[in-house]
Structure 1
């Protein structure tokens, strides 16, 4: 009788716990009991120094996509800081943003992560420290809507290119001139008119997100499009 007396509440507890666990796994996909992460989680998949690309929503970003014949209009560099994953990006101003927050800013939360093909040998602690130090020196800089090749103001792909050049002595792509891009579309013309009036600096050195994403030095490690 004693065994029966104590067995019933134990069975009841196990059934209740099992039901609660089932509900938790269905309702809360990030529940630690589930053993899975959310679909958008990138934890553990990225490395220090990876480059991340997305499609941003703005008239200027639309013009960038058209002018460069690419879906990508914004990029940043992933840095590990105090155990966290962040993106150093050139917006207004240059700042560091938590990785998953950065991803949420893109169209449909889609993104691509690229990595230097020989990152394991090139991006050692010393090199990454130099890259981060140079990136830190640009924090707070105003966004460069005029795409000038100076450090007075910085735009997104310029930031990434210069961090690799100054911190790792690597040129991720050849620099182009503004006149090399597709400037004939009316939407691009409108942005150019707003920025420069009739004095468009066609010979200005430029690097676009498309130049970086197509770099032969990089490999794709995450693609969500």
Structure 2
């Protein structure tokens, strides 16, 4: 009898060890906001201006064929989540989720973002729809799909642009539009209405 008990406990232990671990990808939902530190040329300037390591953002789409991210790069595109995550520095990622939005609303948000697929990246951070930058895409998708404005519109001159004057001149010439209003990845991350589902960034990112 004791031998059977020991055997049963041993088999139970093997089952516990072999149980698959829940992956981050399996926890994601359509409409989740994902952020990382981009390796793009302008990433360091964005980090310096916002005092944050969060320099790129996209929207998650969960489908029967896998998990994807819709993002505004050159051009606006839809890429597998694993590929998107791997592009970030050290693979670090933050996942944010809006509170109290049903499945249909989150899908409308994603559909609103996908309307912009193929559009060029907006290097000048304007607010028109002919071109898109990453945090603009996310904010506009939620405005259209859910009627919610996430993140805060900020004047370019209110950011810490003192150390990136060269980059500003390359982008705008001698007349830098300091009154230009834009939304940053860091601003989205600071919105208390977006719950942190996952983050392997150090605190204060």
Answer whether TM exceeds 0.5 for this pair. Answer: yes
SS of the residue corresponding to residue 79 of structure 1 reads strand
Q: Within 1, Cα distance between the matches of 2:198 and 2:65?
A: 21
Unaligned runs of 5+ in 1: 1-32
The correspondence for 2:189, drawn from 201, 204, 213, is 213
The correspondence for 1:183, drawn from 155, 161, 167, is 161
Q: Within 2, Cα distance between the matches of 1:96 and 1:109?
A: 18
Are the structure 2 counterparts of residues 203 and 221 from structure 1 closer, same or farther at C-alpha, using a change threshold of 3 Å?
Answer: same
Q: Within 2, Cα distance between the matches of 1:133 and 1:220?
A: 23
Instruction: Indicate the RMSD between aligned Cα atoms, in angstroms.
Output: 1.8
What is the TM-score normalised by the length of structure 1?
0.78
The correspondence for 1:65, drawn from 19, 43, 47, is 47
Query: How far off is 1:132 after superposition?
Result: 2.5
Query: How far off is 1:68 after superposition?
Result: 0.5
Q: Which residue of 1 aligns with 2:178?
A: 202
Q: Within 2, Cα distance between the matches of 1:131 and 1:124?
A: 10
Contact 1:157 1:209 in 2 (8 A): yes
Unaligned runs of 5+ in 2: 1-16
Q: Within 2, Cα distance between the matches of 1:114 and 1:128?
A: 13
Q: Which residue of 1 aligns with 2:5?
A: none
Q: Which residue of 2 aligns with 1:123?
A: 102
Q: Within 1, Cα distance between the matches of 2:38 and 2:32?
A: 19
What is the TM-score normalised by the length of structure 2?
0.85
SS of the residue corresponding to residue 42 of structure 2 reads helix
Q: Within 1, Cα distance between the matches of 2:148 and 2:58?
A: 16
Query: How far off is 1:37 after superposition?
Result: 4.8
State the structure with more CA Rg: 1
Q: Which residue of 2 aligns with 1:97?
A: 79
